[in-house]
Each structure stands twice: as structure tokens, then as C-alpha cells.
A and B are shown apart, each in its own frame.
Chain A
Amino acid sequence: MIDARIDIQHSTLKTIQGLLRALLANGAVDGLLVPMSLPSGSVAPMLVTDPDALDQADPLAPVLPINAARAASLLTATDQQRTLGLVLRPCEIRALVELVKFQQANLDNALIIGIDCPGTYSVTDFQAADKDTLTSELLAGIASGEPRPHDGLAFRDACHICEQPLPQGDHLALAIGLAGVEPGSLYLRARDDLAETLELSPGEPPAGRAAAAHTYIDARTQARDAAFAQFRDRVHDIDSLLHEFSTCIRCHNCMINCPICYCRECIFRTPTFEHESQLFFQWAGRKGTVRMLPDTLLFHLTRLNHMVTSCIGCGICADVCPVDIPVGTIFRTVGQKAQAIFDYHPGRSLDDAAPVQDFREDELTTLGERHS
């Protein structure tokens, strides 16, 4: 990997568009998955093969409509004939790393291009606001290590508590640094072949980068710990647990949009729990009442069991919840404990097997013994 500093031409966005265009025009990639600005002003990830179309690329727009790791999975899981550049946020990269472990994506012919993330707004907040102002405020903020939300707006809950806002790991082909950069410049960390394609001259990371990153990661780690403590305070017994999920309408939105929930046939989308009417009557006879649709809490409990160790905290589940259950915070809080058992950090490295697909003979040795 090569560290480099490049000067901003016109604007940060135009400079990044220029880098992406160079990758596409020079044949380093055959296509790019990148957030694009639409005529309506909204932003959506698109597969781009025409270098000229990159004028509309907007990877700096502070919004996360979907976790694009799902799109990366769709483009790479089957035969991947062409080289694909994936322009992703750090949480999307972490999700993609998990999907690779579960054989739902393949990076053999893909280049991951990460960009420092100052935080994102909800789709509706972003849509209603002056988008250029939101973006430029955050660019200035992240450079100084204090990206703050626009007056009157808040970051998405997941971003507010995100302690991993910088792309990291050996799987990155190119990282675009915004945190702690000197005015008028960008910081790049590129794989050697890409550095050559982009004609980068080796340099040092910006002097202020570590301090700037530290400042805002510290603030968000504190916010994270506060959110975890708040959840543990709020949910501590059966009544409070039932209360937390009581508004769930079992729409499955959280599961459908979760990048980690990849199962083609989820047990909750099969007739497994679609019992005959008389069985519901039997259960009602026992309990007095049976919630319909059934198995609302079972759905969440099962999703936790299946994927909480790989939850990378993008928070899309909470964004798509129509009744505002803080699903993302719940998964992150529970995930912290479940991941700690295996000292596992989802999305960190392709070399760490996910807990549910691995085991060690010499671990958890008291579990299963008589007096554990």
C-alpha cells in the first residue's frame, strides 16, 4: 500500500469523480458500483460503466439508502467475469467482508474503494435539506475531526454511535481519506498497482489525521457506550423486553434490508409457523390470548441468534422499521456481548471466520459439563 496526498481540483467531489473516472478509463475496473445523484436529488448506488456518467457520482452524499454490500453481493456472488470497483462506506465494507465469509460475495475480481464517513442522515432528512450544504459542512467538520450534524438535524442513530467510521483492513484496494487532511488536499492509501494507474507519488499520511480521527471516534465511542447502557437499563426483564418489541408489526423489513441476513429461504418466510387455525385456538385456550400475527418476538430472537455475531452495525434495520423499534441499537448492544465471547470483530478481516461457521475444541469447556 502507498500513502499519497493529492491536490483538490475544483472540489473534493470533482476530485474523487476524477479518480473514479481514471480507474474506469484506464481499464483498472470494467465497472464501478457507486452512489449516484438522481435527477430528483436523491442518491442511489448504481453500476456505472460509462466514464462520462461519473459526473453524477456522489459518494460524499451523507445518506445511506441501502447497505450497498447487498448490491456488491448481487454483482459478485455468481461468475464475476469483469473487474468491479466498489465505492462503499466503512459499514458497507464490513458487511461485504461478512458476506464473503458466507460465500455470498466474491472479491477475486473486485476492488474495494473506501471513503472516510463523517456520518449520514435519514433518507427523508437528506431529501428535504439543501444537499450541498450538508455535504460541505461535513467535509469541513471531518477535516478538523469534528463532523457534527446540521443544525436541527441528527445523524442516523447508527452513525451517532459508530466507532468505525474510517475504512480499514487488508481487503481495501483504495482508501480515500477526509479526516485530518490539510485544506485543499485529499489523503489516499492505494494498493501498489492502483497507485501506479493513478500516478500517485508516495508520501506520508497527513500530520493531523491521527488526532482528527481520534477526536471523533472517541466522541462516538462515548455515545455508543451511553446507548448500550441506556438499552441495558431499559430492557432488563420480561415486561421491559415485551414492551420494547410490543409495537412490532412483523413486517420483516429489518430482515429483508439487513445485509447480513442473506438466507434465500428464511424460516420466517416459509409455512413453518403457519399453523392450522385449531392450533391457535388451542394455544389461546391455554393462555387466554394469542398474538396475531404469531411469533413476533420469536422472529427477533431468532434473527439475533442467527446473525448477531456478524452484525456490523449499519443500522439499516432501524431505518426501515415502520414503528421505530431501535433494532440497530438492540443488535449492537446484544452483539457486543455475543461477539466478545469469541473476541470477534465483524467486518474487520477476511481471515477471521465468523463465529457461527467455526469452532475450537479447547473453548467454552465448562459449557455442557455438569457443574458449569
Chain B
Amino acid sequence: MWIAVKPNGENVDMSEAEFEPTIIAFLCNWCTYTGADLAGTSRIQYPPNIRIIRLMCSGGLDPVYVSKALLEGADGVLIGGCHPGDCHYQSGNYKARRRIAILHAILQQLGLDPDRVWLRWISASEGQYFADTVSEMVDALKEMGPNPLKGVGQI
């Protein structure tokens, strides 16, 4: 059994429903978050499975928060930053890239699925690409199935 929490705090048993993945997204203020905003103002449709957390820079994302999301049962984590060379702070996205590479290696070694953590460079003008990325990720996660850590209480 797994239970989702509605925005009003009500618990809903989701075992029988079709699996809808939950994605936690950490988006940089200057590129991907603005790209998501553009997708919205352009009325581009994309699945509502994503919960966006805005950061000033992908380089400011500590892996603790990605790990926390996964351990708490998020089906996927999307990290969005500026394209290489375009970081508002010069090099934050390169640092993020190293951290995600390390995180992927750790997840792999510990028997967790690194494919649940996506890093994507999406600029402020790529509203369509943002929407496509969310759709692709939702499809990929539906293929993978729910995060097996969902509902594990002993963590």
C-alpha cells in the first residue's frame, strides 16, 4: 500500500490508482526556473507531476536534499541549471555537474537507481524543452515504476 497526501493534508490510498510519479525539481533561478515560467506563460501543456523548488544556482544544491527526496519516496529528482558556460555565477553548474556525477556513482554502488536523478541544462528561453523534459521524465519513471523506498519506514 502507498499513500499520497493531498494538498489539504488528506491521505489517499493510491495502491489501486494508475501510478503517477512524483518529481521533486531543483531549478536554478536564472535559467531553468525562468524556462519553466516561460512554459507556463506560453501555455505549454506538461504533466503536473512536478514539485518545483527554486534555487539561486544549481551549484548551490547540496546532495543532502536530493538524497532526502529519494529516501522519502520521491520517484524522481530533476536538477535544472544553465547550459555549460552560461552560469549566472560563472561556474556553479560545473560544480553541480561534479556533485551529480558523484551522487550517481554512490547510488549505483549502494544498489539504488541513479536513473531517478536527472540533471538537465535548460535555458530561460527553452520553455518547450522544459515541458518536454518533464514529459520525458514522467514517461521514464512510469516505466521504472514507483520508488521502492516509498513507504519504507525503517530509513
Residues of A at the B interface (CB closer than 8 Å) are 232, 235-238, 240-242, 246, 267, 282-291, 295-298, 301-302, 304-306, 308-309, 333-334, 337-338, 341-342, 355-356, 358-361, 363-365, 367-370
Chain A residues within an 8 Å CB radius of B151? 286-288
How far in angstroms is the closest Cβ of chain A from B109? 4
**B153 close to A338 (CB less than 8 A):** no
**B64 close to A364 (CB less than 8 A):** no
Q: In the bound complex, what is the Cα–Cα distance between A289 and B151 (angstroms)? A: 8
Cβ-closest 10 pairs across A and B: A289-B153, A359-B94, A305-B63, A237-B111, A302-B64, A287-B153, A301-B67, A334-B109, A338-B105, A368-B119
**B71 close to A238 (CB less than 8 A):** no
B49 close to chain A: CB less than 8 A: no
Chain A residues within an 8 Å CB radius of B119? 367-368
Q: Which residue of B lies closest to A237 (CB)?
A: B111
How far in angstroms is the closest Cβ of chain A from B106? 5
In B79-98, the 8 Å CB interface with A consists of 81, 84-85, 91, 93-95, 97-98
**B155 close to A291 (CB less than 8 A):** yes
Q: Which residue of B lies closest to A238 (CB)?
A: B148
Q: In the bound complex, what is the Cα–Cα distance between A368 and B97 (angstroms)? A: 8
Q: Which residue of B lies closest to A294 (CB)?
A: B155
Chain B residues within an 8 Å CB radius of A367? 97, 100-101, 119
Q: Could you list 26 examples of A-B contacts with CB < 8 Å?
A: A238-B149, A238-B152, A240-B111, A282-B9, A284-B153, A285-B11, A286-B73, A291-B153, A291-B154, A291-B155, A295-B68, A295-B155, A297-B71, A298-B68, A302-B62, A305-B62, A305-B64, A309-B102, A337-B108, A338-B102, A355-B98, A356-B98, A358-B98, A363-B97, A364-B97, A364-B101
How far in angstroms is the closest Cβ of chain B from A333? 7
**Total contacting residues, chain B, CB less than 8 A:** 45
**B111 close to A236 (CB less than 8 A):** yes
How far in angstroms is the closest Cβ of chain A from B51? 15
Q: Which residue of A lies closest to B81 (CB)?
A: A368
**B109 close to A297 (CB less than 8 A):** no
Chain B residues within an 8 Å CB radius of A242? 152, 154-155
Q: Interface of chain A, helix or strand or loop or mixed? A: helix
Q: In the bound complex, what is the Cα–Cα distance between A283 and B108 (angstroms)? A: 27
A356 and B110 contact, Cβ closer than 8 Å, known pairs A286-B3, A291-B155, A361-B94: no
Q: In the bound complex, what is the Cα–Cα distance between A297 and B71 (angstroms)? A: 8
Q: In the bound complex, what is the Cα–Cα distance between A241 and B85 (angstroms)? A: 38
Chain B residues within an 8 Å CB radius of A246? 154
Q: Which residue of B lies closest to A333 (CB)?
A: B109
Q: In the bound complex, what is the Cα–Cα distance between A355 and B103 (angstroms)? A: 13
Chain B residues within an 8 Å CB radius of A237? 111
How far in angstroms is the closest Cβ of chain A from B115? 11
**A305 close to B102 (CB less than 8 A):** yes
Q: In the bound complex, what is the Cα–Cα distance between A358 and B100 (angstroms)? A: 14
B120 close to chain A: CB less than 8 A: yes
How far in angstroms is the closest Cβ of chain B from A292? 10
Chain B residues within an 8 Å CB radius of A333? 109
**A289 close to B148 (CB less than 8 A):** no
Q: In the bound complex, what is the Cα–Cα distance between A241 and B154 (angstroms)? A: 12
Chain A residues within an 8 Å CB radius of B62? 267, 302, 305
How far in angstroms is the closest Cβ of chain A from B110? 5
Chain B residues within an 8 Å CB radius of A365? 84
Q: In the bound complex, what is the Cα–Cα distance between A306 and B106 (angstroms)? A: 11
